[in-house]
Structure 1
Amino acid sequence: MSEFPEVKIEIPGQEQQDDSSLSSCSSSEPFALQVLGDSMEPEFPDKCIIIIEPNDKCSNEAYVMADIEGSRWFRQYMNDDKGERLVAVNSEYPDIPLEGLNWKVEGIIVQRNIKRDIKHYEIY
């Protein structure tokens, strides 16, 4: 999967930790992450805060946090005539085709906060 640049995530107010620290939250509680990088711009600019609702299902065009073969990705889920894939909002980043990969949705983005400008997203 090295051909796809991975979006870095950090927990605001905490030093960078390994992925095991994310599993310490209740699996049913929403949590916040900070976006690092430009792969989801302009909808989710660098350093904006996103709220993720843990869920293993999503609808077409939902913004999701997904695990693909052990790496976490923040992308938009698409399932159409081009197939099932994860798409970066920034067109400079390639799509991630999901066919044949071991992957799962870990959560759905339900809100973003850009300098207190809050936008909500529907889960389904």
Structure 2
Amino acid sequence: MMTDSLPEGTGCALHEPFALRVLGDEMEPEFPDGCIIIIEPNDRCPNPSYIFVEVEGVRWFRQYVRDAEGRERLVALNARYPDIDLSGLEWSVLGVIIQRNVRRQVTHYNYASSAPSAA
């Protein structure tokens, strides 16, 4: 999962990107355990996108996917973990992942295009 701390307070600081460390293997291989992700606070998520989300009071880092029938789910990239079907659940997007850092190798995620870019 993720570390529990999020930026606190009010004002523009809540709208600034922040970093979290990935804990666990749920999003491997794209996001290995221990890598750093940069999250841009946002309440919307493109389809598909990597998001930081709160579902029924629990925070998750997953890939958001909406299928052709409009069903929404959260997907762990590691097949050992089940999808989370969002039908009928209370959930809200806390932000989208815009960057990851794995051993100083940085990848940026731009959801206007379909593929991540390495920097």
TM-score (norm 1): 0.82
Q: Is the 8 A contact 1:108 1:123 kept in 2?
A: no
Q: Which residue of 2 aligns with 1:91?
A: 79
* Per-residue deviation, 1:29: 0.6
Q: Structure 1: which 5+ runs fail to align?
A: 1-6, 11-18
Match of 1:22? 6
What are structure 2's unaligned runs of at least 5 residues?
Answer: 113-119
The one-character-per-residue Cα deviations of 1:18-59 (angstroms, maximum 9, x if unpaired) are x5x524162201000000100000000000000000000011
Counterpart position of 1:122 = 110
Q: Percent identity?
A: 58
**Residue in structure 1 matching 2:100, options 108, 112, 117:** 112
| TM-score for the superposition, normalised by structure 2 | 0.85
Give the root-mean-square deviation of aligned CA atoms. 1.4
- Which runs of 4 or more aligned residues in structure 1 lie more than 6 Å from their structure 2 counterparts after TM superposition? none
Partner of 1:78: 65
Per-residue CA deviation, residues 51-110 of structure 1 (Å, 9 max, x unaligned), is 000000011110000000111000000000472000000011000000100001000000
Q: Aligned partners of 2:6 and 2:107: how far apart in 1?
A: 24
Tell me, yes or no, if the aligned pair for 1:34 and 1:47 is still in contact at 8 Å.
yes
